[in-house]
Structure 1
Amino acid sequence: MVTIPPPDGATPVPDLNDEAERRFRETERQLRGAAGAFGADAERYDRSRPAYPDAMVAAIAAASPGPRVLDVGIGTGIAARLFKARGCEVLGVDVDDRMARLARRSGIPVEIAKFEDWEPAGRTFDTVISAQTWHWVDPAAGTAKAAEALAPDGRIALCWNVFQPPPKVAEAFAEVSRGILPDSVPDVWKRPAMEGYAMLARRAEDGIRSSGRFTDPEQWRFDWQRTYTTAEWLDQLPTSGGFSRIPQDQVDRILARTGAAVDALGGGFVMPYSAMVVTAVRTGPR
């Protein structure tokens, strides 16, 4: 996987090795089917999930040939609101009306459809974004649909937030997992988080290249951080996809022990994040 030098303020995404890819596929297998669970508590998802750094939004907006943005898998509108605040005209597409209702509260129109089946109906957009959702989209069919919706020289920008707990925090969370979910993969907290997302990036790049309708994709990465209190971390933890597969009594125990662990760390911690973007420009006639 070739990494293209990113714009100012970004750092490149690392390559994968075979073992990292194997671990990613195992995690993906465990999480398959979790996509539909996010809307079960859309209000919690919207208030607790991290946003995206200003530098990322600014870079994508500056690279767009115009203000018309299509947000694929808009969810509750976490990313869409940031682009709207920069003067973009955003339309969302999502499969879950429970999530979309929250995005609409911000004045963002949302159409309910699976993106691969969604119809542009003659409309064109300057940029197609997808924040934390493109891994639920078929990479070939999704890229073809994006190309259909984009104006010539329009841009596709696929984004993911990646977090990597500091070592002391990772060890505390791994200890909770070992005590409650011994059959899971307890070292998940201490693995390099970027390796799994690098696999997502590779798939996205393969879909873009195979379409033959975009320039060679680039990868951008924007590092940022967020401070969590105990209550804030416990609020967002159940929004992780894997929690939909855990019995409620175990979820309760995880939350209680995680809360105690964060309290023991001083009642909060700083979580490093990286916003990763796979992006390319639409080429040729529509």
Structure 2
Amino acid sequence: MVTLPEPPHRHRRVAESFGADPARYDEARPAYPDAVIERILAAAPGGNFLDVGCGTGIVARQFRAAGCTVLGVEPDPRMAGFARAAGVEVEVATFEEWEPAGRVFDAVVSGTAWHWIDPVVGATGAARVLRPGGVLAPFGHVFELPPTVAQALAEAYRRLDPASPIAFDGRSIRDGYRALYARAADGIREAGGFGEPELWRYDWERLYTRDELLRLVPTSGGLSGLPAERLAPVLAAVGSAVDDLGGVVTLPYTTWGLTAIRAGSTAERRP
């Protein structure tokens, strides 16, 4: 398991490390399951979406393919530049400092990024830009490595950076990740302006070759900002462990998310 620092939003160094290699991030990180996208589309009163922490535009492209208009907000100009090159409209800012300039949206979504935002400040900002009946839907997926691969990663990482706020251990991240969205739900309740948030989970899996997994692992927090010479021994340990398993592994994934409806009249909802 990759244990995130508590609370994650106070660790900006980790949060801003993912843009070190946007192309690798976009290639390695999987898109979200169709069932997740469809769930959020069904909850939204219209197709005008704001994607908070849009990164390279993975989520934005999925909602655009479903017919939505999507504006991204992304604090890292490297990630934003990649998203723009892929056709996504992006404004560079943290969500806490972003100025909506009177614009309103049918949905505020955030793919594996909401935990880097203060949960109360984020929910307050979402309430400000959502039309009545609009939906706030942060979600994110997380994978679990086979035990021997996870152990090899943990041992190599501890040798590399024992003082890091990121920890790799043997606990189940698929269950542990729930706490991030429970905290987000608490932030929504404290901020006010929404109905009761609904917490949900979707399980799935994906097959990885050795090379594919070695592209994915460096996109994790704590590894994403490492220079190549420091990352190399970690990847060597992971690669060796995968070789021992035959060079192919199936990773179980869980997508956690929540939906909360902006309070007020639903008269503006799309028929």
- Between the two proteins, what is the percent identity of the paired residues? 50
**Once the 2 structures are TM-superposed, how far is the Cα of residue 174 of structure 1 from its aligned partner?**
4.5
Unaligned runs of 5+ in 2: 266-271
Other-structure match for 1:153: 133
CA contact 1:70–1:127 (8 Å) conserved in 2: yes
Other-structure match for 2:223: 243
CA contact 1:24–1:199 (8 Å) conserved in 2: no
TM-score by length of 2: 0.87
Query: Structure 2 vs 1, CA of residues 244 and 59 (structure 1 numbering), >3 Å: closer, same or farther?
Result: closer
2-side partners of 1:27 and 1:151: how far apart? 29
The one-letter code matched in structure 1 to 2:235 is L
RMSD after superposition: 2.7
Cα deviation, 1:191-244, whole Å, max 9, x if unaligned, reads 010343222112211110012200011111111111111111111212211125
**For 1:137, which of 112, 117, 127 is the aligned residue?**
117
Other-structure match for 1:35: 15
TM-score by length of 1: 0.83
Cα deviation, 1:107-141, whole Å, max 9, x if unaligned, reads 22101111112122121111100111111112111
Number of matched pairs: 264
Aligned to 1:151, the other structure's residue is in SS state: strand
The one-letter code matched in structure 2 to 1:202 is A
- Residue 191 (structure 2) pairs with residue 211 (structure 1): yes
Unaligned runs of 5+ in 1: 1-22
Alignment of 1:1-286 (within 5 A): 25=5, 28=8, 33-174=13-154, 176-177=156-157, 188-243=168-223, 249-284=229-264
Aligned to 1:57, the other structure's residue is in SS state: helix
1-side partners of 2:84 and 2:146: how far apart? 36
1-side partners of 2:166 and 2:58: how far apart? 30
**Once the 2 structures are TM-superposed, how far is the Cα of residue 24 of structure 1 from its aligned partner?**
5.7
CA contact 1:30–1:242 (8 Å) conserved in 2: no
2-side partners of 1:183 and 1:245: how far apart? 15
Query: Structure 2 vs 1, CA of residues 238 and 217 (structure 1 numbering), >3 Å: closer, same or farther?
Result: same
Give the number of the structure whose residues are more often helix, by fraction. 1
**Once the 2 structures are TM-superposed, how far is the Cα of residue 250 of structure 1 from its aligned partner?**
4.0
